């Protein structure tokens, strides 16, 4: 997804005058899933507002966990819809366990920190990756003048952090590392975010955990993610035929990354339960990720389980709308670390949602707020199957989710909020 695809919500020029803004984040277009569409959209909004934006990002690799073909060399510069983009090389582990992820994040941060250029008025670091905050701090504490100027704050670069996931909670909840390392991660996250002039979170439930880490709640701003997919264009029945979905079966579709935090073994077990009960429910896992091969092996021989490769952007919305139920599944250990970005697309598709997620999770809060589906406990495949069967055909829940997306999760509102937030950071200097 490019910047041009985000230019649908023009706004007046920035009220603070043109600012120099540097955005640092590992994920960016052409990646079209995860947090890349939101970073790309934020940059598009700042560019449209008349600010001079530049981006430092990684080589596209997510969610396949391999660098996209054609991206070679240690560093490359591009001009994407008028915005200068510098891509820096970093390792991409085939098996992204905690140790390899930390090495990748550290390498990206170190390389991004070496990218020069004029000192920005505002630098925005996007987490994940948390360590990008270090690259942002390099600008914040890079003083051009004398020590006297430092006391007055003249010429200072403001630092903002966009937090898509809670880093320390991810370490703890995915159990990819030891409790000691997770504790160090919490201290690191609190220490880095406390040095930011402002932190933008994608869900209000992130505020309390960040405050517990020592981040001043007055510096936390909630800017929800938005739906970045187009409306479906094809006939629903035709799409089902194309995908091989029969009219007499209930399609429960999980679309997106297949990683550790999704805990999709639960969906595989639910499909096995559907076979045992001769249920009309078929579970479909659409996408890729570092756990897909393992899940395919685990699901071998299950009749009511299908894997689909990622679809082109113009076909993806049609697939969501053609399903009977859209599934969110989180690992049993996951509760506070993230707000699944797939929900914005799910709600826009107008289909009811079933989430295997704990009651206090951000996913459960969003589904309850939208009144767009039901929740069951994670790690209970029989309950997941029963909820899917009971929810299929609840078109009213689907319509409520669609209305909620249009009212509360509009791209225009979020884009304006990001521009106001960045301008406010600059004014606070």
Report pLDDT for 260. Answer: 84
Sheet hosting strand 52-58, strand order edge to edge: 75-80, 83-88, 52-58, 20-24, 122-127, 158-163, 198-201, 220-222
**Any long-range contacts for 242-247 (C-beta under 8 Å, 24+ apart)?**
243/308, 243/319, 243/322, 244/306, 245/282, 245/284, 245/322
Report pLDDT for 148. Answer: 33
Cα gap 371→408, rounded to integer Å: 13
Cα gap 272→228, rounded to integer Å: 33
- At 61 the three-state DSSP class reads coil
Cα gap 177→196, rounded to integer Å: 27
Report pLDDT for 290. Answer: 85
List the structure tokens of 223: 């800017």
Cα gap 32→119, rounded to integer Å: 30
Write out pLDDT tens, residues 241-274.
Answer: 999 999 999 999 999 989 888 999 999 999 999 9
DSSP alpha helix (H) spans, 29-143: 36-48, 98-113, 132-140
> Which DSSP string corresponds to 281-345?
EEEEEES--TTHHHHHHHTTT-TTEEEEPPPPTTTHHHHHHHSSEEEEE--TT-SSSB--THHHH
Q: So where are the chain's domains?
A: 3-226+410-427, 236-408
DSSP alpha helix (H) spans, 120-178: 132-140, 147-152, 167-173
| Residues 232 and 42 sit within 8 Å (Cβ to Cβ) | no
Burial call 404-421: b when 16+ CB within 10 Å, e when fewer: bbeebbebeebbbbbbbb
Are the folds of 3-226+410-427 and 236-408 the same? yes
Report pLDDT for 297. Answer: 97
Task: Output the CA angle 256-259-264, nearest 5 degrees.
Answer: 80
**Which backbone phi and psi does 87 adopt, to 5 degrees?**
-105, 135
Question: What spatial distance separates the first Cα and last Cα of the chain, rounded to whole Å?
Answer: 33
Question: Comparing C-alpha atoms, which of 346, 412, 333 is closest to residue 379?
Answer: 333
Instruction: Report residue 279 CA to chain centroid gap.
Output: 33
Residues whose CB falls within 8 Å of the CB of residue 278, separated by 6 or more in sequence, listed in order: none
| Residues 381 and 266 sit within 8 Å (Cβ to Cβ) | yes
Report pLDDT for 133. Answer: 93
Out of 3.40.50.2000, 3.90.190.20, 3.40.190.10, 3.30.70.120, the CATH code matching 236-408 is 3.40.50.2000
> Would you say how long the chain is, in residues?
429
| Residues 112 and 88 sit within 8 Å (Cβ to Cβ) | yes
Distances (CA, A) of 225 to 61, 118, 251, 412: 21, 30, 26, 11
Write out pLDDT tens, residues 130-148.
Answer: 899 999 998 887 544 433 3
List the structure tokens of 24: 């640092």
Cα gap 155→140, rounded to integer Å: 10
Point out the residues of the chain with pLDDT beneath 50: 1-14, 143-154
Cα gap 34→206, rounded to integer Å: 18
| Residues 246 and 324 sit within 8 Å (Cβ to Cβ) | no
Report pLDDT for 178. Answer: 67
Residue pointed to by tokens 């990218």: 115
Burial call 86-106: b when 16+ CB within 10 Å, e when fewer: bbbbbebeeebebeebbebbe
Which CATH code is given to the segment(s) 3-226+410-427? 3.40.50.2000
**Any long-range contacts for 391-396 (C-beta under 8 Å, 24+ apart)?**
391/325, 391/352, 391/354, 392/250, 392/252, 392/281, 392/324, 392/325, 392/352, 393/324, 394/352, 395/352
Cα gap 39→52, rounded to integer Å: 16
- At 161 the three-state DSSP class reads strand
């Amino acid at each position: 997804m490019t910047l041009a695809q985000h230019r649908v919500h023009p706004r007046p020029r920035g009220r603070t005058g043109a600012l120099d803004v540097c955005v640092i984040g590992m994920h960016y277009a052409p990646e079209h899933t995860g947090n890349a569409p939101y970073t790309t959209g934020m940059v598009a909004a700042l560019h449209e507002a008349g600010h001079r934006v530049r981006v430092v990002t990684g080589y596209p690799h997510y969610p396949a966990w391999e660098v996209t073909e054609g991206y070679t060399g240690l560093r490359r510069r591009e001009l994407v819809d008028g915005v200068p983009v510098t891509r820096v090389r970093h390792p991409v582990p085939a098996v992204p366990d905690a140790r390899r992820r930390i090495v990748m994040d550290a390498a990206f941060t170190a390389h991004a920190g070496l990218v020069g250029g004029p000192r920005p008025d505002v630098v925005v670091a996007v987490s994940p990756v948390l360590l990008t905050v270090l690259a942002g701090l390099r600008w914040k504490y890079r003083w051009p003048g004398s020590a006297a100027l430092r006391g007055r704050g003249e010429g200072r670069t403001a630092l903002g952090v966009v937090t898509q996931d809670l880093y320390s909670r991810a370490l703890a909840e995915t159990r990819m590392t030891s409790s000691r390392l997770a504790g160090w991660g919490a201290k690191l996250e609190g220490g880095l975010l406390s040095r930011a002039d402002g932190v933008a979170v994608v869900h209000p439930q992130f505020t309390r955990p960040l405050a517990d880490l020592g981040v001043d709640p007055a510096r936390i701003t909630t800017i929800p993610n938005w739906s970045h997919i187009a409306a479906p264009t094809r006939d629903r029945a035709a799409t089902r035929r194309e995908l091989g979905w029969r009219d007499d079966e209930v399609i429960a579709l999980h679309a997106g990354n297949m990683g550790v935090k999704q805990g999709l073994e639960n969906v595989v077990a639910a499909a096995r339960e559907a076979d045992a009960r001769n249920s009309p429910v078929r579970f479909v896992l659409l996408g890729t990720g570092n756990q897909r091969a393992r899940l395919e092996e685990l699901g071998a021989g299950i009749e009511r389980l299908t894997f689909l490769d990622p679809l082109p952007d113009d076909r993806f919305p049609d697939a969501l709308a053609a399903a009977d139920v859209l599934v969110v599944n989180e690992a049993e250990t996951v509760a506070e670390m993230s707000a699944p970005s797939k929900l914005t697309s799910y709600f826009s598709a107008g289909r009811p949602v079933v989430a295997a997620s704990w009651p206090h999770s951000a996913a459960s809060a969003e589904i309850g707020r939208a009144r767009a589906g039901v929740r069951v406990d994670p790690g209970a495949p029989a309950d997941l199957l029963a909820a899917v069967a009971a929810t299929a055909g609840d078109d009213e829940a689907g319509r409520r989710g669609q209305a909620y997306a249009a009212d509360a999760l509009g791209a225009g509102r979020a884009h304006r909020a990001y521009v106001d937030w960045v301008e406010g950071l600059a004014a606070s200097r």
